Structures are given as C-alpha cells and as structure tokens.
Structure 1
Amino acid sequence: MKQIKVLIVDDSAFMRKLIKEFLSEDPRIVVLDTARNGQEAIEKTEKLKPDVITMDVEMPILNGIEAVKSIMSIQPVPIIMLSSTTKAGAENTILAMEAGAIDFIAKPSGAISLDLHKVRKILIEKVIASSKANVALKRLKTENRDVTKISRKPIKKNNLDKIILIGTSTGGPRALQEVITKLPADLEAPVVVVQHMPAGFTQSLANRLNALSHVHVKEAEHQETLKKGNVYIAPGGMHMRLNERIGQVFITLDREAPVGGHRPAVNVLFSSAANLTNYQKIAVIMTGMGSDGTNGILDLKENGQTIVITEAEESCIVYGMPKAAALTRKVDEVVHLESMARTIQNYL
C-alpha cells in the first residue's frame, strides 16, 4: 500500500508535534517533515514532493496565503489550511482557498489548540481524501467540449419564475468564485447556495464573493425573502430551506440534525425547493466529496420543472458529488466550470 506523504507547516512547535502524532496514527499516512513558516514550506515542497500539505494560515516570514500561491505556481499539491475561527482567520482562510488551497479545518480554540484532538478524525479523513484531489486542472482549449448535453428528452421552455440552486463542497469556494463573478447584475433569478463549511466561515466567503461580483452576495438570514440578482449562502452549521407564501419564496434556517453528515446539507435545500410548484428550478452540483445533493435531485425531478447541471470531471477538484448526481440519470447537462455561468443563464 502506497502511503500518503504529508508535509506539516505550522509556526508552533506544539502544533507541529500534535498534528504529526495524529496523522502518524493512521497507517495510510507518513509524515515526511515539518516546516515552521511559508518560506520553509516552499523549499521543502520542492525538495520532498509531498502528496498533501497541512498549512497554518498565520505564520512569520511568509504567511500561509503567500505560501499557497507560490506552491501552486511552482508545484501544485493539495493543501489543507488549519485556521482559527476568528474573523481575521476566516477571511484569510477564504483568501488561501482562492489562492489554491482545496480545503480547511477550523482549529477548535485558536492558533495553539490544546484540544486539537476534537478534529483529529476529520483531519485524517481530509488528508486521505485530498490526496486524490485534482489540483493540476487543465483548461479546455476547444469551445465545443465545454458542455455535454445528456438529456434524453427536450426541455420545454416556460414562463415560470426561476430559482438557481447550487450545492458544492471540497474545492467549492474557488468554483463558486468562477461561477458567481460571471453572473450579471440584472440576473433574472435568485441564487441559493449550500457550501459545506462550519459556522464562522460562510460570512467571510459571502463578503469576499460580494466584493468580486456584479450580483449581491450575502449570508442568508432566517425568514428572508428571495430577490432576483441576489445570491444567498447558507450559514455554516445551519440547514437552509425554501418555503412559499403569498407568491413569495422565503428562507428558513434551523439547527436540526446533520443530514448525511452535513449541516448545511444540499439535500435539505434541494428537497425543500421541490415543493415550490410555481417555479422552475435550475439545480447545480459542483466539485465536492461524497454524494450530498443526490436525493434532493431525485425529489426535484419528481416534483416539477427542474434542470439539473453538474460540473464536468475534468474541472472538478474532487469528482464526488457530481459523479453521484450523474448516477441518478437525472442530469440534463454536464458542464466545464468555465462555462457554468453561461449555461445557467441560458435557462433564464
């Protein structure tokens, strides 16, 4: 069995030791070395060629964001950020993912977390999953390859109001940036997004996307009414559902039990939208681990007018959720990420 080679980057000797101990407990993982700052991380990445890097965000000499940028330009490798849950920590984590990191873990109690054991299991799981990620993505050269239509019958045009539903997980922040920044300010539909993230990070994601986009992007609020040209991101740690009253669609948020291990869950959003009979739904599944969204697609297709679009394997960081969706045989189009925004707009 080929072991996953990991480089640990953290300015705290205690954190380096703790992370190394946790990862070394799993026989599938071998820790090659550790680094104390971003500059050391770049040098050791070039020399050791790890399969996965765990990277602290805030470090001296060269911080995690700049280190990610350099590593992804020199020698792309899956990078998992370890971040504090402070506002600054969350903002820097979003910037690190924009720079190329594929996932992150929130430290339970700040920069030096004596209780890091609380996330030990998820750290191991993310290292193993990240080792299979596609970080050296190839851009498609030919226009005729960017959309694969796989619908089995024509989709009827209708005059129903539209709602765009997006579900994503690992690699999602970068994918969302690629799609949402290409949507026009006068978009003729609201966009509702579930991105798997813990509490404290979705506000920073919404703020960053809002700063880069023509549409208005915000973290969703309980009882908020949907408006065209607005993007609503489910708050971390809360399920988001859509409901209808007096001809208007509004959001409800709750902390009910995780579904399929996730809260927010794409399945919860999609299944709630299936009950909106006076709207056509455009459901989009992008990069992510697992199969969240699959049951929701089945509900949507069973209960009314729904177009299902999934991200093509060649542009996915992790081809898990889109693959599971494709296995339902309910997908209408498979689209490269670069063409996703245009494809969505084609249905409006």
Structure 2
Amino acid sequence: MAPYRVLVVDDSAFMRKIICDLIKQDPRFTIVATAGTGAEALLALKQYKPDAITMDLEMPEMNGLEALKQIMRIQPTPVIMISGISEDGTRETIKALQLGAFDFIRKPSTAVSPQEVGQQLLEKLSVAVMTRSKPVPAVPRPEAVKKPAPPQETRKPEEPKLPEPEKIVKPEIKFKPAGRPAVAKPPKREQQRPQKITGSFTDIVAVGTSTGGPRALHQLIGDLPSGFPAPVLVVQHMPPRFTRSLAQRLDSFSNLKVMEAEQGQQVHAGHVYIAPGGLHMELTERAGQYYIHLSETPPRSGHRPSVDVLFESLLPYPKLRRHAVIMTGMGSDGAKGMKSLVEQGIPTAVAEAEETCVVFGMPRSAIEAGAATTVLPLHSIGNFLVSAVGRNSSSS
C-alpha cells in the first residue's frame, strides 16, 4: 500500500522541517508538499490532493482559520491544527475544531517535547486517514444567543496567484474526496439566558467525548433550552488551557451558562461544567447540596480528565436521576463507568450513532460492552435529553 500523503503548512521553515521529520518517522506517511501560507496551501491542496493536512494557525496573507474554511468548502480533507498555548492560540484552536478541523496538537515547547508531539501527531494522523473515507453528515449549529454572529461574506475570494509549493515526486494516487461538510445553521433561537438557579434538582446529565467533541458539544449544548432543569457535567479530552477556551466558546452560543469547572464549585441546574484539562472531575455532596471535586489522581486509560471517573462519581447518588451520554472519540473511556450506572438502573444511557461520529471508538466501546441502552445520531441527543429530564420534572 502506498504511503498516505500529507501536506504540511507552516510559515516557519524551521517548524515545517520539525513537523516533516516527525511525520517521516512513520513509513505509513509521506510528505507530498509543504506550504508557507494558507494561500499556498490551497494551491497545494488542488495539485497534490493530500490525504491529510497539518495546519499552523498564525500565518501571513491567509491564516490557518481562513484556509481551513476554504478547504472544508472546496475539498474537505482531515486537518490537524498546530496550536500554540497562548490565550489567542487556544481560542482560535477551538474555533478551528468547530469549523471542521479533525483535531489539534500543541507546538513543541519547553512544556511539550518534540517526541511527545510526534507521538500525538502520528496517532491523530493515523485515525484521521482511517476515518476520512466515510464523510460525517452535516449537523445544524445553533446561532449565538448572547452575541449576534458576524455577517458572512457573500462574495468568493479570488484564488491567490502564488508560487507553487515545493514538490516531492510521487506516483499518482487515485483520490476520492471525503470529509465533513460545512455545518448548516438553523433559524436563530429566541430563548433568553436563564437566571441563576439555586434550588434543588432531581436530574443530572453527564457527557463524555474526545476527538470531534467540540463540534459535537456545540450541537448538543445548543439544543438544550434555557431553563433546562438539570446540571450538565462534561469531560472533553483536551489539554490544560484549551478547556477554558472551549467553555467560553460554547457559552457564547448556548442558552445555558457554560463554564470551566472550579474546585468546590456548587452545581446548579441550567449550567454546564467543563472538566479542566489535566484534572479529573467528580460530583460530591455535602448537606444535601452538590459540588465539583477536581483532582490530579493518576490518569485512567491514559486520560485526565477521564469520562469513567466522572461517571463513577455519580454511583453514590441513586436519588438523582442520572443521564449519561458518550459521543465521538478515540478509545473506550466511559464505557466501564456507563456500564456501572446502567447496572444501577439509570433512565438514560446514550451512545452517539456511528453515522454522525467523527471517530466511533468511544461510542462503539459503550455499545459493545452493553452499556448504552439508546443509540442516537448527534442531532437527536439534545431533544432526547430534554424529553427524558422533562418527563421527571413534569411528574414531580
């Protein structure tokens, strides 16, 4: 089998070399071309038709976000974003994931060694090229309710006239375009943001996700109405700093209050709590009230935060009606914890259907373990939760 063809895009020649050298360590991949700007990347995309792309965020002439938008429009291809850890970098990375980027890695730094970056990059590229043959259907994206979304451009930008990227001579390989279509927008929501809810609640929702999760969470949380009578606890596999940007981004598009969870924080209905990167998140109870507990205990199945840790923390509270959801992601995190909850008779245990998953690993594991009692496409999960929680609220 011919190696998978990768296009490396970065305005730094030094960083391009580092990324290329890391990728070349795996004989399954070959560098088909490199590019120094987003504009050059679009030319290389048409000429070389790569199987995957690594894309820097900050570049002259056309940055990574603009290039990503064009790639998703003209020739959807798995894109791994190369992100810095600055506040702007994390915020733009989250935006890229919601625009269709497959995943991201952090640039090599004093905190992240080239060896660690290389391992992560090869792992993500491997999954990207394996899943790209099955396009993920478009899912509706909610409009912002706190801030109006910026108007979209109606005219198409002219194709840049720039030098062709450097070539690597390879035999022509037949290419079948695939990828995730652009996200459609439904009519703007008119709901108002809820007031802070300090009273008791009878239901709680716990959600676990990984690769493809930011986009899936955008859909799910956007489908929950203001006044949703349950708290929502979320574990998204993501490094520190990025979860805060994720929470801020989701909050700007949600009817609920979305935040990165804090140690000892009281849990309220109508609020969404995102586990901080690098910390496990658990539910605890004191004097009839529920709180967030964060810890640096060892990773579970290589993850911290872990979905299993979150789900298992709900086991001591059978008086709550617990609703568990596992969505797109690599691996099997969450299946064991969901299985334990199902054995206690929880009313809701949902796995996302393969047809809408970016990566079907985590939902598949839950289904095969007999943990998921319901399998739904992404666009149906929010309404299902509204109905499940609403049935109890109306009867109480």
TM-score by length of 2: 0.80
- Structure with the higher strand share, 1 or 2: 1
Deviation at 1:2, TM superposition (A): 3.8
Hey, what does 1:136 align to over in structure 2?
135
Hey, what does 1:98 align to over in structure 2?
98
Q: Superposition pairs for residues 1-348 of structure 1, below 5 Å?
A: 1-109=1-109, 115-134=113-132, 136-139=135-138, 161-348=202-389
- For structure 2, list consecutive stretches of 5 or more residues without a partner in the other structure: 140-200, 390-396
CA deviation vs aligned residue, 1:34-85 (integer Å, no higher than 9, x gap): 1111111111112211111111011111111111111011111111111000
Deviation at 1:114, TM superposition (A): 9.8
CA deviation vs aligned residue, 1:143-198 (integer Å, no higher than 9, x gap): xxxxxxxxxxxxxxxxx811101000000000000111121110010000000000
CA contact (8 A) 1:226 1:250 kept: yes
- Give every structure 1 segment of 4 or more consecutive aligned residues whose post-TM-superposition deviation is greater than 6 Å: none
Deviation at 1:137, TM superposition (A): 2.0
Deviation at 1:303, TM superposition (A): 3.0
Number of residue equivalences: 329
Letter in structure 1 aligned against 2:279: M
CA contact (8 A) 1:300 1:306 kept: no
Letter in structure 1 aligned against 2:360: Y
CA deviation vs aligned residue, 1:13-48 (integer Å, no higher than 9, x gap): 001111111111111111111111111111111221
CA contact (8 A) 2:335 2:371 kept: no
Aligned equivalents of 2:330 and 2:112: distance in 1? 29
CA contact (8 A) 1:297 1:325 kept: yes
Compute the RMSD of aligned alpha carbons. Answer: 1.9
Deviation at 1:242, TM superposition (A): 0.8
CA contact (8 A) 1:199 1:236 kept: yes
CA deviation vs aligned residue, 1:113-143 (integer Å, no higher than 9, x gap): 9943331111111111111234732359xxx
**Closer, same or farther in 2 for the Cα pair 1:18/1:273, shift >3 Å?**
same
Greater shift in the superposed pair: 326-335 or 161-170: 326-335
CA contact (8 A) 1:4 1:128 kept: no
CA contact (8 A) 2:37 2:61 kept: yes
Give aligned-pair identity as a percent.
Answer: 46
Hey, what does 2:186 align to over in structure 1?
none
Deviation at 1:246, TM superposition (A): 1.8
Letter in structure 2 aligned against 1:98: Q
**Closer, same or farther in 2 for the Cα pair 1:258/1:207, shift >3 Å?**
same
Aligned equivalents of 1:25 and 1:330: distance in 2? 38
Letter in structure 2 aligned against 1:137: V
The alignment partner of 2:225 has SS state of coil
- For structure 1, list consecutive stretches of 5 or more residues without a partner in the other structure: 141-159
Hey, what does 2:180 align to over in structure 1?
none
Letter in structure 1 aligned against 2:318: T
Letter in structure 2 aligned against 1:14: F
TM-score by length of 1: 0.91
